[in-house]
Amino acid sequence: MAFPQSHQQELIELAEITGISAVPGVFRIILELLALQVSPEDIYILLKQISTRSSSQQTINEGAHISTEK
């Protein structure tokens, strides 16, 4: 089950209004996962894990950048 483009755009606009920023492709993937009957809780856990890893990787990269500037 695919969601109409208008619904995808509405989701993106709603997210922006609430202060959630993400690439539009992320919202499309979330909608596809929901259409595949993946539970919202599982999607939440996945996004939280990805976010944590991304933050950790960014911190590591920033540390490496700072140490090379010295």
pLDDT of residue 63: 62
User: Are residues 43 and 27 part of one domain?
Assistant: no
User: Are residues 29 and 2 part of one domain?
Assistant: yes
Q: Looking at the 3D structure of the chain, how many domains does it have?
A: 2
Is the pTM higher than 0.75? The answer reads: no
The residue range of the domain holding 31 is: 1-38
User: Are residues 29 and 1 part of one domain?
Assistant: yes
User: Are residues 19 and 7 part of one domain?
Assistant: yes
User: Are residues 48 and 21 part of one domain?
Assistant: no
Cα separation values, 33 from 9, 10, 11, 29, 40, Å: 17, 17, 14, 6, 9
- Burial string for 19-41 (b: 16+ CB within 10 Å, else e) reads eeeeeeeebbebbeeeeeeeeee
pLDDT per position as a tens digit, 22-65:
788 888 888 889 889 999 999 999 988 888 776 666 665 666 55
User: Are residues 58 and 28 part of one domain?
Assistant: no
Among candidate residues 43, 10, 38, 36, the one with its CA nearest the CA of residue 24: 10
| Six token digits for residue 53 | 């890893």
User: Are residues 3 and 21 part of one domain?
Assistant: yes
